[in-house]
Amino acid sequence: MSEKIEYQSVMNKLFGRICKDENKGQIADYIPELSKVDPNLFGVCLRTIDGRVYGVGDWNEKFSIQSISKVLALSMAYKILGDEMWCRVGVEPSGTPFNSLLQLEADNGIPRNPFINAGAMVVCDMLISNTENPVEAFLSFARTVCANPNLNISEKIAESEKLVGFRNKALCNFIKSLGNIENDPEEVLNFYFKMCSIEMTCKELTATFMYLVDDNYIGEDGQRVMTMSQAKRINAIMLTCGFYDESGEFSFKVGLPGKSGVGGGIVALLPDKYCIAAWSPRLNEKGNSSRGMKFLEAFTTETQMSIF
């Protein structure tokens, strides 16, 4: 069935339809630098397991991938530490906002999952303890999986978030006080803000995440990025926890594992078939890209290609 789908024309049709609707939602302006993005940009890229690439709209425009970077950090830590890492971070949906402090005390500083901010900070802490230069190691990992030496971190965005990141600072210090951060919280936060500030286009995002689509994926360095079982587990966490407090809704409407970020990006994938990335900066009330979600829902409905 999938071979018969004219992906480009399906994408053009859905894109045109969504562009006719009002562009609803709010841009994430709590990070001042992010509020400067043109809210009307909108792009989508699809990459199939056999290497075909389709794009529509602003799919070659760089943007701040924000929380999507947490999948890369998690992959790195999982590769280094293996299952040992799960004693410091859980794998359950949190049911609370991404930056919530609420559950941490009751859970003794063990964040519910690696995609809420608290969990991603613990993952950053693991990477600091296990790499010589975590920022360089992270960037080099992203460049290798994407097979693209031109990926970079926006220092401007990282600095902008640092200036206003009071809640993230509280979170990190709180976890430290509960004994689940090994390093200096300031160092963890600096790394966390930089990690979130890596920039990619939709096209680059789909290239980056093929290691979660293709069981036989071999990176640019001739190595597997991770084992099949590890990739399966990361996909499972993306399905259950990838969309803030709207993960159930995303699964219900779209039916793919994925991850979103407050920059308006969404990456989602169908194992063994394709990776798709959508970007539009206006977010719905749960913090996910409004147009991105609409597009992906329409795409899996029209192509009948989801995991269910």
CB of 302 to ligand GLU, least distance (A): 28
Q: How far is CA 295 from CA 93, 121, 172, 290, 298, in A?
A: 24, 31, 35, 9, 5
* Binding pattern for the stretch 122-161 against ligand GLU, x by CB under 6 A and - elsewhere: ---------------------------------------x
Residue 90 vs 261, nearer CB to ligand GLU: 261
Out of 72, 196, 267, 283, the only residue in the binding site for ligand GLU (CB under 6 A) is 196
Shortest Å distance, C-beta 261 to ligand GLU = 4
**3-state helix/strand/coil string of the chain:** CHHHCCHHHHHHHHHHHHHHCCCCCECCCCCHHHHHCCCCCCEEEEEECCCCEEEEECCCCCEECHHHHHHHHHHHHHHHHHHHHHHCCCCCCCCCCCCCCHHHHHCCCCCCCCCCHHHHHHHHHHHHHHCCCHHHHHHHHHHHHHCCCCCEECHHHHHHHHHHCHHHHHHHHHHHHCCCCCCCHHHHHHHHHHHHCEEECHHHHHHHHHHHCCCCCECCCCCECCCHHHHHHHHHHHHHHCCHHHHHHHHHHCCCCEEECCCCEEEEEECCCEEEEEECCCECCCCCEHHHHHHHHHHHHHHCCCCC
Does residue number 98 form part of the binding site for ligand GLU (CB under 6 A)? yes
Q: Please confirm, yes or no, whether 192 is among the known catalytic residues.
A: yes
CB of 187 to ligand GLU, least distance (A): 16
Residue 38-67 contact track with ligand GLU, rule CB under 6 A, x = bound = ----------------------------xx
In the complex, the smallest distance separating the C-beta of residue 77 from ligand GLU, rounded to whole angstroms, is 17
Please report whether residue 280 would count as binding ligand GLU according to CB under 6 A: no
| List of residues 6+ apart from 6 with CB closer than 8 A | none
CB-wise, 117 or 235, nearer to ligand GLU? 117
Catalytic residue among 54, 56, 70, 225: 70
Checking DSSP bridges between strand 43-48 and strand 274-279, what pairing results, if any?
antiparallel
Q: Is 70 a catalytic residue?
A: yes
Active site residue 244: yes
| Catalytic (active site) residue 262 | yes
**Which residues from 155-174 bind ligand GLU, rule CB under 6 A?**
161, 168
Q: Measured from the CB of residue 241, what is the shortest distance to ligand GLU in angstroms?
A: 12
Residue from 119, 261, 281, 292 binding ligand GLU (CB under 6 A) = 261
Query: Residue 235, interface with ligand GLU (CB under 6 A)?
Result: no
Residue 30 among the catalytic residues: no
CB of 116 to ligand GLU, least distance (A): 9
Nearest to 294 by CA among 252, 253, 238, 245: 253
Q: Which is nearer to ligand GLU, 65 or 212 (CB)?
A: 65
Q: Which is nearer to ligand GLU, 100 or 117 (CB)?
A: 117
- Choosing from 54, 78, 244, 274, the catalytic residue is 244
Give the residue from 242, 231, 25 showing the smallest Cα distance to 119.
Answer: 242
Is position 111 an interface residue for ligand GLU (rule: CB under 6 A)? no
Can you give the binding site for ligand GLU, defined by CB under 6 A? 66-67, 98-99, 117, 161, 168, 196, 261-262
Which residues are identified as catalytic?
A: 67, 70, 192, 244, 262
